[in-house]
Amino acid sequence: MGKLFGAGPDQSYTTRTKILKEQGVAVWDVLANSVRPGSMDSAIDKTSAVINDFEGFFRSHSEIKMLCFNGQTAAKIFNDRVNTQVQSMVENIECTTLPSTSPAYASMSFADKLKRWSIISAALGSADYVQKH
């Protein structure tokens, strides 16, 4: 989000969220809560995982056109655990799984990850932002 929209870690949380909202980007975790010893997604205790309220989110934000997952684990949890009513709400939304931004996912370079993640800025009509920054 830093390279795509100028909402990087050098900005305060409040500033980052303001920038993303102005660009039309919402960042929301698939899980509202879970137990995860350590930082690896593979360590998520599936029995403790609580899915975020996607039904309420999509009802409140019916203008959403694209849903992007930050890595395979987020996409898998969404597809496996989100109920069919919510799944039907996203039938007309473009869904894509992007490479994880985690440094633990080192098999892809930052430049390659950025190129893949640039579909977001392109979809929002600000594709030239990446080239300027």
> If pLDDT is split at 50, 70 and 90, which confidence band does 126 have?
low
Given a cut of 50, whether residue 70 has pLDDT beyond it is yes
Q: What is the mean pLDDT of residues 61-80?
A: 90
Q: Residue 82 and residue 54: Cα distance in Å, rounded?
A: 8
Closest CA to 70 of 23, 43, 104: 104
Give me the residues paired with residue 51 across strands. 31
Residue 48's pLDDT is what? Answer: 86
Burial (0-12, 13-18, 19+ Cβ within 10 Å), 5: buried
CA 61 from centroid of its chain's CA atoms = 15
C-alpha span between 19 and 13 (Å, rounded): 10
For the segment(s) 2-126, the CATH number from 3.40.470.10, 2.60.120.10, 3.30.465.10, 3.30.1060.10 is 3.40.470.10
pLDDT value of position 43: 74
Mean pLDDT, rounded, for 4-17: 94
Average pLDDT, stretch 67-81?
91
